Amino acid sequence: MKRILCLCICMMAMAAPHAVALEAEPEESIVVINEVMINPDAVSDSRGEWIELYNSSSNPVSLLGWTVTDGKRDMFIIDEDIVIPPDGYVVLARCSDPLRNGGVHVDFEYSGMYLANGGDAILIFDKMGAVQDALFYSEERGFTIPCGASHEVKDPFKTNTPSSQWAPSTSVFGDGDLGTPGTCNSWYVPPNPVQRPPRGALFFLFKKGILPVDGFLE
């Protein structure tokens, strides 16, 4: 998927907390931020926040050693060999217990990062330090942060940079909040496959001035 990330990233370097301005060139990102629960209602933010990643490639991707940060002070490193299958999802959350987090089945529990309701950033770095995806959200950027609904990408195969590509989820899960953690987003409509006539389909031949002739195609 072509990702155009025009970033001005205030990034906490892993070795030093200096702000770094970084402009990312267009690149192919195969693991993308697909859905985020910023402001849950069924449970507190400290238990109900989560980030969903989607693998748009045809190969599994290991997240071992990847970093998630807000570009400032908050960050965590995925220190387990979490693998996203092809066309699959991984949910990263502050609480991994479905009985306490609103009913979310979590692949990796993190600490050291929270999602500010008024606006924040989520940056995903792979183990080599390359930016894989980024999300900057705030009302000024066109994002509304509803209480009790996740924000999800309308089409994971298009750039998720503009706010118009994001919308509050419409599907109920778990304890009653709206979201689709670990599954296809409620706004995404897969393209219709090419319809091919079944083997042995009935057909009709038409010729100008002549009655149609029917037959059976083998």
Q: pLDDT tens-digit profile of 81-108? A: 999 999 999 999 999 999 999 999 999 9
Does the pTM exceed 0.85? no
Q: pLDDT tens-digit profile of 42-79? A: 999 999 999 999 999 999 999 999 999 999 999 999 99
- Is residue 191 very low, low, confident or very high in pLDDT (cuts 50, 70, 90)? low
Residue 32 predicted with pLDDT over 50: yes
Q: 53 vs 9, which has greater pLDDT?
A: 53
Residue 11 predicted with pLDDT over 50: no
Contact between 115 and 36 (Cβ < 8 Å): yes
Torsions phi, psi for 158 (to 5 deg): -120, 160
- Is residue 193 very low, low, confident or very high in pLDDT (cuts 50, 70, 90)? low
The single-letter code of the amino acid at 145 is: I
Question: What is the enclosing helix (H) or strand (E) of 45?
Answer: helix 45-48
Q: 3 vs 159, which has greater pLDDT?
A: 159
Residue 132, pLDDT score: 94
Q: What residue has token string 């070795």?
A: 15
Residue 217 predicted with pLDDT over 50: no
List domains and CATH numbers for the chain. 31-168 (2.60.40.1260)
Radius of gyration over alpha carbons of the chain, in Å? 22
Average pLDDT (134-142) is 92
Contact between 191 and 158 (Cβ < 8 Å): no
Q: What residue has token string 């990796």?
A: 108
151-153 β-sheet, strand order? 108-109, 89-93, 50-55, 31-37, 151-153, 166-168
Contact between 136 and 118 (Cβ < 8 Å): no
Residue 204, pLDDT score: 44
